[in-house]
Amino acid sequence: MKKILITGSAGLIGSQAAKFFIEKDFTVVGIDNNMRAYFFGEEASTKWNKEKLETDFKDKYIHHNIDIRDKEAIAALEKITGKKANVEYTDVNREGDHIWYISDVRKFKEHYPTWNYVYDIDKILEEIVDKGHF
């Protein structure tokens, strides 16, 4: 039996990747914790897509609601797959990664000139901690 692990499996790209590999006779282990709903509200939830994958592909799609940013979640993935994860942490952005502009947003404003702060960074981090996400 061929298995593949797909993170973000309920999202647009992840769900299409899941369908592609299922059609190639893989069993898909899907990881998605629906952070879209947290960040953008319930109207942006990927829950419907996760449920569609589970319904359409039954035993060929196995879903796990875990956060891969969490070391315990990585341990859970290792248990699910029976393999040791190759995890590397680095403080250097890879070429093409999103850059988090905290103190100097001039470049960001060049791309989004009508954008303005709703929260400052301290307020955002306080909210993350208050919601128990840290």
Domains of the chain: 2-81 (3.40.50.720), 97-134 (no CATH)
pTM given for the model: 0.59
Q: Provide, for the chain, the percentages of residues in helix, strand and coil under a 3-state DSSP scheme, each rounded to the nearest 5.
A: 45, 10, 40
58 has a pLDDT exceeding 60 = yes
User: What pLDDT is attached to residue 89?
Assistant: 67
User: What pLDDT is attached to residue 93?
Assistant: 61
- Asked if residue 27 lies in contact with residue 9, where contact means CB atoms within 8 angstroms, the answer is no
Percent with pLDDT over 70 in the chain: 84
User: What pLDDT is attached to residue 101?
Assistant: 56
Say how far apart CA 27 and CA 43 lie, in whole Å: 29
Say how far apart CA 34 and CA 103 lie, in whole Å: 29
Say which residue, 52 or 126, is predicted with more confidence. Answer: 52
User: What pLDDT is attached to residue 61?
Assistant: 97
38 has a pLDDT exceeding 60 = yes
As given in the structure block, the two tokens for residue 18 are 């899941």
As given in the structure block, the two tokens for residue 32 are 């998605």
